[in-house]
Structure 1
Amino acid sequence: MHPSSCFIFFLSLFLNFFPKYVFANSFLSCSVRPSCGSISNIDYPFWGSDLNRPESCGYPGFQLHCNENEPEITIMDVTYRVLAINNSSKTLNVSRTDYRDDICPTRFQNSSFENSPFQYTPDTRNISLYYGCQSLAVPVNLTSIRQISHQFECPINERNTMGYYVIGDFWGTAVGNYLGLCSDRVIIPVPNSQVSLLERNQNPDALEEAVKVGFILQWSADDTQCEGCLNDGGQCGRNSTGEFECYYCPESEGDLCPKRSPGGNNIPAKLGQGLGIGIAGAAVVGILLGIGVLRFRQQRQKMNDHAEIEAFIKKFGSLTPRRYFYGEIKKMTNKFSDKLGQGGYGTVYKGKFPDGRLVAVKVLGESKGNGEDFMNEVASVSRTSHVNIVTLLGFCFERSKRALVYEFMPHGSLDRFIYDRVLHHQNRQLEWKTLYDIAVGIARGLEYLHQGCNTRILHFDIKPHNILLDGNFCPKISDFGLSKLCERMESVISMACARGTIGYIAPEMVCRNFGGVSYKSDVYSYGMMVLEMVGGRKNIDVGVSQTSEIYFPSWIYSNLDRSMNLDPNGVTDEEEEIRRKLIIVSLWCI
């Protein structure tokens, strides 16, 4: 038989037999009402591979796991025990598995149901559990501290630490400020009935019981459509495109419809034979169509990638750095053998050009979308040419493979010279004059980004980790992953969400009541960073002996006129003057 004739034969066989057999089989699969533990007759929108209910019989986000004969569901990365399911009221009674044995979990995760098909019922309230707390030194006039419930203990890093739980939200209040010194906070919902018990009986046992009882969630999952489907004799499910599907088995199909008997479902031999023929035909057609679709997609993807790169090169012209293939990146890094560090946006490896010049290769995570953010980062650094801006030597962009090739900085990032106190005191090169030169160099780099380029570049992530030091301790601003290009005439820019690192983000980035977002947001981050350079510590440090010293900028401002010596080793008058200048400038920036 000629190949084309064979293809037409199997295609007609597939089109004739396969759809109705698959539809009948889907009807049969979704008719199963499995049980797990005390939960029986599990129906739409729930599904689970270990419950013999395929994904096509449920709704996204409703997958159940039968773990040791106990049903569990994972919502927003938190796993819950399913205590009861009520299909009539569309409610679900759940409790957190990580709080099943005690109130000291191994991971601290909040219960959140945003962007999920679940929501709280009116009978639910939140309690906040604070871990890793210090003993609260309560002022006499702080009467609201009584609102903190009984304390408990939990081991953290093999050491018992104090914990507190409160009912409601005290964020921004005096109580919240004290509890803000704790290392972790977890929000857990509990029913109102348990809240009343907790208020009368404030002890860890009552807290454990309140969490174990669980709480009620309301769900929404094509409920109206499913009710109509069931009334018409169908079974609820979803098709391959994720849309609601009502699976029917019409009487016109005769023996193909599943027959119910006291012992369960009987499938006639004709259904099995038909499924076999249909699957065989589908396999042949699927292979032939799959090969064609795969080749088509490969060609189209190559064309799209090529078009994107060409558009980028054409847009930025001579500003575009050299583009490397991924194979060249692997070769220059010796197959990524020498790892320099890792951050939130990728991993940095040490590499070498064929001429022996050392480079730093930053390999970013898996590419999402069409790589527009990555191209924007390349465009930002490519527009710069300044002694205090890191030099981008090239880039790689092959579908999901992305990398940036920078000049190598022998001394690494500035943070290791600030927070590593042993290195800070032993390395005589990092004296106060050097710190002053570093601060001035960073300021010049920022001025260049804001005023020296034809297109203004706002960095939005100025911090010690993103300041690199060359062999002469000359600072270089790096990591433009959060940067934004804007016209020089724009005094205020629009932002969809906050960018930056906690501790360095300007107030206007978080709350618009402080004003619009502009280049001054970078200036604020610069001021916070310079303060850390002066003090050799984080600006927010809970490891100090006195509560008044926790927020370093406030403490150093209040003690500036007292000429307090921050360095136990002592400094000369000249160094003291340098340090005072750095403090004053940083406070101006903040």
Structure 2
Amino acid sequence: MNRLLIYPYSRCLLLLLLLHANSKAISIWTHDLEGEEREEFIKDCQTNSTCGGIDVRYPFRLVNSTPAYCGVQGLEVSCSAAGDAIITVPHLGPCKIIKFDTYSVRIKVEGDEWARCPLQKLSSTNLTGSIYQLKSYYYYNDYSSKNYTLVKCSSEIAIDPYWITGPIPCLGNESPREWVYAADAWASMDQLPSGCVGTGIGGWIGYADRGTFGDLVQGFNQTLEMDVSLDIPEWEMCRDCHEEGKQCGFSRSRNQTDCLTRRGPDLEGEEREEFIEDCQTKSTCGGIDIRYPFRLNSSTPAYCGVQGLEVSCSAAGDAIITLPHLGPCKIIKFDTYSVRIKVEGNEWARCPLQKLSSTNLTGSIYQLEHYYGYYPYYGYYNYKLVACSSEITTDPHWISGPIPCLSDESEGQLVYAADASASMDRLPSRCVTTGIGGRIGYAGEQRFGDLVQGFIQTLQMDVYLNIPEWETCSDCHIEGKQCGFSLSRNQTACLIIAARRHGTTNIGLIVGLCISGLVVVLTYLIILYIFKASKKDQEIRIKVEQFLATYGDAKPTRYSFSDIKKITIRFKNKLGQGGYGSVYKGELPNGIPVAVKMLKSSKGQGQEFTNEVATIGRIHHINITRLLGFCSEQSTRALVYEFMPNESLEKYIFSRQDKGSNKSLSMEKLLNIAIGIARGIEYLHQGCEQRILHFDIKPHNILLDYDLNPKISDFGLAKLCSRDISIVTMTAVRGTMGYIAPEMYCRNFGTVSYKSDVYSFGMLLLEMIGGRKNHDPEIGRESEIYYPEWVYDRLVEKQDLVLAMEIEQNDGEILQKLSKVALWCIQWSPTARPTMTRVLHMLLGSSEEVHIPPKPFVSQH
């Protein structure tokens, strides 16, 4: 009997092999560029490859100073007499390079024709067939493109920066009087006033983090700067290297693009001994060991540190470093990824936030934020100063104050510091933003208010270094090593710190020590075997308690096990059971109903528990389940959630198979639920201080409240990562079969990132419209065909999509939209999937605005 299969895992291996053979978007390298070949590439291609303050890196190359293998043909950069990095782009002409980004290159077009009327020139420019692209075919983190169209109006109209801007002076007419505007081609033209018509003229502008549509167009008009992408495999491979925190280069031995390891070999032998002797033996001040890339300038030679990182020892015994724009600062401590400093001087002491707000470290090697990989509990807050006519209630999570030195009660003005990422509509009407602000770096988990008040009271903050030596040193520290400088290789290297050799080795002593060591090891193993179970529990308890200690007051309410028993009436009402434990219904002393999850002590080394508290324990969103409290007592751990009376989405979308069930949802309600889930995931990816990746989006983990509003739950597999870097290092596959993205199984499909959640959301959408589980083979008997492919073929052929439910005639558009969005989300290449922000935009728009995506899989016919 032939059946329509939802997700044919019996053929997964064949499908993976087909995709590996056919996908051009899959990275093909298997090795990093290392050893002598790495050193040769750096020497040939990077040592003399700077122009106008811009480091020209592979796949680009500086033509006058590097051999041909240092770049790809067509990406040659020349250095002008004025010191500008110039590249010639077909149909655009010579362009000045403003900066290189992970996903794009910002250029400034040159010439009178561009200066005279930029949009007119751009509209007549076609880059088809060129390796340069203005149009983005993938939804990268911060790079995409806007399709604009020019519209002509008989009178001036109100503009909206989100979809229309103008008028464009160089395109209007005096007689007859006409005004020309640029509109987002994706916007509905029904919004145009009756006196406006389309001209049929338009084009694309690429952007990397440029704000609204109006900001993008006006920015290009004023600066002639825009962002372009490259349609070549080397660019995509380099992008993957950058996401791993590496550079990319070319391996002549393998004739392919490869990543460069971050550093060369360790510092060893005599060179290591010499570095320790010169740079570390007399390098302590005020109880602080000054280590490379810093150096104590009074007692160490210049090669012991990087220029600009010289530390002096004051008469009071303090380690002092002078920072541009900050002045002399006392070093409090060095950390793996940051340096804690105390700013000095009367101006700082008088009004710290006012001074910090006027301080700009742009161009300095010191930064108040870090630009590379994710490191737990390291980051920064952007703050804005707001002025209020009377006192307001503060919240340590997003607003702090009033700031005495900035406030004037006699004039009725109180100034507060607010987290700039918070929604300003939370401010009372008597408050206005001042437009003044800045940022404060931190190391260690801190709430916004605690960080601001801590800086005001102590004048201490954490800074990062924007230099490659600092990144290499961070890698060394992760490996338990120190870092130093190799004079022979002229580069930063790691070194192992061990006892130094003096005199002749005593072989007898070594033998004796080895025998003694063997006895100790055997004794230790016996003890370890005897106490293995209790030791393991103790380690988990210590880890959990250390974790909870770092969260301070930011964590939810802590309950004792005795409290948990009272809340659940001694676990009387069991709601269900999962892989991590059982869930019981309970009630708090104030009468609020709750769900209590009792975690199995053997699961995940306490990871399920810490993941939940670290993620949803600190965030509040209408589409995310709220964690109200927890219990950690001996080996007992429990989590207390808000109670969801309508249980999970799973019971609604799969109940369609049960003809007697009354739990079916209308298509409009399914759309609203999908939008709610998308909002929740988007908030996890973009709305939090650190990006939260869920890794287990599925119907069972979507709970419904009294009004059937969806709430994302179960963060046991979640992972925190920086919003600046999308790649995530995984040691094992996470998730549930049927929802796991291909890259989770195999690196050849791309890097694991927040796009893995997008894939899971796409599979969830398909289940919502199909009403059946991914592994359910009973959906139909038409043919043995992969379910998403069946949906794709029906869309392309414009056939009926009705599956397991009867729908109203006007619900067909919703069904089509959900299907197209789902197919966008399950693209096999992560780079081809949209961000959740884009997904939400598609769900909120009309079905016609959502184009049918490329086929997201290899056909099995």
**TM-score (ref. length: structure 1):** 0.48
**TM-score (ref. length: structure 2):** 0.34
